[in-house]
Amino acid sequence: MSTEESRWLTGGQVYDQIAARLRARITAGTYPPGTALPSEAALVAEFRVA
């Protein structure tokens, strides 16, 4: 996880920040085509949101 990704998410529209991080991971090849993204429960735990 990069320094940028390790920062806390803040602000009223956290979903935009989560989406941007997921897009960056897809572009970087963390989630290659045909693979599943993490479950909602996993994302909640990782990003500490509800």
- Convert the pLDDT of each residue in 16-38 to its tens digit: 899 999 999 999 999 999 999 99
Of the pLDDT bands very low, low, confident and very high (cuts 50, 70, 90), residue 45 is very high
Q: Position 44: which residue type?
A: V
Between CA 7 and CA 48 the distance in angstroms is 12
Say if CB 46 and CB 9 are below 8 A apart: no
37/31 Cα distance (integer angstroms): 7
**CB within 8 Å of 2: residues ≥ 6 apart:** none
Residue 32 domain boundaries? 3-47
Q: pTM for this structure?
A: 0.71
Q: How many separate domains does the chain show?
A: 1
